[in-house]
Amino acid sequence: MPHLTRSRQHTSGTELRPGVGVPGYAHPLLAPTEWGELTRPGTPLHWVVLNVSDGPGARPDPHCLEAAGRLRNAGIRVLGHLDTRYGTRDFGELISDAHRFVDWYQVDGFLLERCPADHAGLPEVRRTVATLRVIRDAAHIVLGHGIHPHPGYVELADQLVTFSGPWSDYRWSQVAEWTADHSPEHFCHFVHGVPRPHLTEALRIARWQGAATVWITDHTDGGGDADPWEAMPGYWDEFVSRVGTGVSE
């Protein structure tokens, strides 16, 4: 059974309530139902990632403009998807994409996908985050490590994705001890391939490990050939009703 390496210290009532972070649906033309469901009243969304075409695309996309506008009008935070390629992405290219996300889609922040996780990557990620906060005032920054990174990263961003992977790994996962010094609002977990009968167990693991923002789906990565995040979980209503309140099955 998954377990904490030590008890979590922060239990303040001011912490972010558990909620859903959407890693990025397929294009609105390919997933209209998914995008439409996101503005359903009572859905406990923390944020939604917009990934037009491996980033903001070459020009404004009218369908993505409409989808992002609906989310913003509903008070839902929209994050632009920036792929850091584990720190190998050219800084100027990355920042150029960030500018386009802000100029075209008025995003509220960014998810830095494939973010470095080691100590050596800290200076460049610090530089990137500082620049993003200049581009977008009060930007919400999520670092998509997918694993537990060096603890220094927690000071750089609003949230860290400390797990991104299959249920077969998640159900036996352990949390890094240093995370117990920080409140759950700092951490996100993305889990794919979770069968419906194990949904409650997966949510319980996220709670035990102190992750306030989650995305859990029954879709799989097809052995690396598919994007498990691009469609709505088959048990969407059950998922959001168990995470938050106000959404019936």
Residue ranges of the domains in the chain?
19-243
Ordered mean pLDDT values, 10 residues apiece, the chain (249 residues)? 43 66 95 94 95 96 97 96 96 98 98 98 98 97 98 98 98 97 97 97 96 97 93 95 58
Cα 10 from chain centroid? 22
Q: What is the pLDDT of residue 17?
A: 86
Quickly tell me which residue has 């406990």 as its tokens. 44
Q: What is the pLDDT of residue 15?
A: 59
Q: Which CATH number fits domain 19-243: 3.20.20.80, 3.40.50.2300, 2.70.70.10, 3.40.50.720?
A: 3.20.20.80
Per-residue b or e along 22-58, where b marks 16 or more CB atoms closer than 10 Å to that residue's CB: bbbbebbeebeebbebbbeeebbbbbbbbbbeebbbe
Global pTM value? 0.92
Q: What is the pLDDT of residue 14?
A: 45
